[in-house]
Amino acid sequence: MIIRAETDEQIQSTFAVMHQLRPHLSAETYVATIRDLMAHVGYQLAALTDDGQVRAVAGYHLTRMLYCDRILVLDDFVTDERVRSHGYGRQLLTWLKEEGRAAGCTELHLISNVKREGAHRFYFREDFSITAFHFQTRL
């Protein structure tokens, strides 16, 4: 089952899996951090559960860009490392695509660290392509 994590309890229930992707996050400040993202950038959090356990988590937001109009941006996407390759990631990604379409989005975008080769293989299998470079610099 896929839920929108909206209550503090639901948000906190995603922490253990999200922490696998974002180990710098603290359990004590996680809900407040998510709430801040929700308030300021329209961040949304979804979780796929099975047998009452969170198996995959997605953090995303909707936006518009001049070069491609309305898009769903997948900011955070992780499947519990103990149950990878069980189809949970694919199920959640399918749900995200449906959410994007329902919101009038024409594309789904994500940024993946260059070192996450396993994730890249998954994205290629799911029909993603590399269309741009993402540059950053410290301020």
User: pTM for the whole thing?
Assistant: 0.92
pLDDT number for residue 134: 87
pLDDT number for residue 110: 94
pLDDT number for residue 57: 99
SS3 readout for the chain = CEEECCCHHHHHHCHHHHHHHCCCCCCCCHHHHHHHHHHHHCCEEEEEEECCEEEEEEEEEEEEECCCEEEEEEEEEEECHHHCCCCHHHHHHHHHHHHHHHCCCCEEEECCCCCCHHHHHHHHHCCCCCCCCCCCCCC
Q: Which residues contact 114 (CB under 8 A, 6 or more apart)?
A: none
User: Along the chain (139 residues), what's the average pLDDT of each consecutive run of 10 residues?
Assistant: 97 99 98 98 98 98 94 97 95 98 97 91 94 92
- Please state the domain extents for the chain: 2-125
pLDDT number for residue 117: 92
Residue 33 one-letter amino acid: T
Architecture of the domain defined by 2-125: 3-Layer(aba) Sandwich (3.40)
